[in-house]
Chain A
């Protein structure tokens, strides 16, 4: 079944005066402070920032680095649709998703989701909704390269959760 992307979705950033949307794939390091500052507004009583960081260990192996790749244009469009779906469900002033590609070392940030709303409940719930969908739907892939020279391609979160209980 075809998964239609919404037509005429503008590429980002977009701000209609009520909610600013930002969807970006970048190979540059991510700065959580910059994203928090951008979402600071008098209307928002709560800003929730999710920072997805590279762990130093996974599956019993010491991680050397992760390598992310994306079909960037399509990923940004799909994320735009996810962010717009979130703002239809929750009253948000900001909905941002920035995902990094290329080599990322342990301790560095791979993805950031920021949601801002008048109240924390909406900001928390929408943030979780966005990252869960981004992980499942955006054409972005992760290769884990371990210190021992082996590597592993990241699995889809639905498959991963069967093995670890975590997504």
Chain B
């Protein structure tokens, strides 16, 4: 059984990924698994993904949080505003 989640990416990640796309992952996958999958999809940007944070629309997430079917998640590179 898989879960489908939607990932939004920002900044230089958009040079490698579509701005938003779906990922299929095994049930009970965690945030760390999502980041691992992203690195596998684009090994050229592995170092950047390693310093990104994943968030839902309300808060930053832990690597061990479980993702659920239908989740909308945001992959956030290190900030560079201001």
Closest Cβ neighbor of A154 among chain B residues: B80
Checking B60, B61, B74, B81 against A135 with a beta-carbon cut-off of 8 angstroms, the contacting residue is B81
Whether the pair B58, A5 counts as a contact (CB closer than 8 A) is yes
Looking at B11, B12, B58, B77, the one whose CB has the most chain A CB atoms below 10 A away is: B11
Q: Is there an interface contact between B61 and A71, defined as CB atoms closer than 8 Å?
A: no
Q: Shortest beta-carbon distance, A161 to chain B, in Å? A: 12
Tell me the bound Cα distance from A134 to B77 in angstroms: 14
Which of A13-21, A117-125, A140-148 has 4 or more CB atoms under 8 Å from chain B?
A: A140-148
Using known A-B contacts A74-B58, A143-B11, determine if residue A52 contacts B78 with beta carbons closer than 8 Å: no
Q: Within 8 Å CB of A155, what residues of B?
A: 78, 80
Which of these, B8, B57, B81, contacts A99 with CB under 8 Å? B81
B77 and A141 contact, CB distance less than 8 A: yes
B-contact bits for A130-153, CB 8 A (1 contact / 0 none)? 010011111111110000000001
Is B38 on the interface with A (CB-CB < 8 A)?
Answer: no
Residues of A within 8 A of B58 (CB): 5, 74, 77
Q: Is the CB of B55 within 8 A of A74?
A: yes
- B76 and A4 contacting across the interface, CB-CB below 8 Å: no
Taking CB atoms and an 8 Å cut-off, the chain B residues in 56-82 that contact chain A are 57-62, 65, 74, 76-82
Indicate whether A89 reaches chain B with its CB closer than 8 angstroms.
Answer: no
**Does the CB pair A137–B82 fall under 8 Å?**
no
List, in ascending order, chain B residues with CB within 8 A of A3's CB: 59-60
Q: B82–A71 contact, CB under 8 A? A: no
B21 at the interface (CB under 8 A from A): no
State whether A142 touches B55 (Cβ < 8 A). no
CB of B82 within 8 A of CB of A52, answer yes
Q: How far is the CB of A150 from chain B (nearest CB, A)?
A: 13
Which of A1, A73, A111 is close to B81, meaning CB atoms less than 8 Å apart?
A: A111
Sample (19) of A-B pairs whose CB atoms are under 8 Å apart = A1-B62, A2-B59, A2-B60, A69-B11, A74-B59, A77-B59, A134-B81, A135-B79, A137-B79, A139-B55, A139-B76, A139-B79, A140-B81, A141-B77, A141-B80, A143-B11, A154-B80, A156-B80, A159-B78
Which B residues contact A (CB, under 8 angstroms)? 8, 10-12, 55, 57-62, 65, 74, 76-82
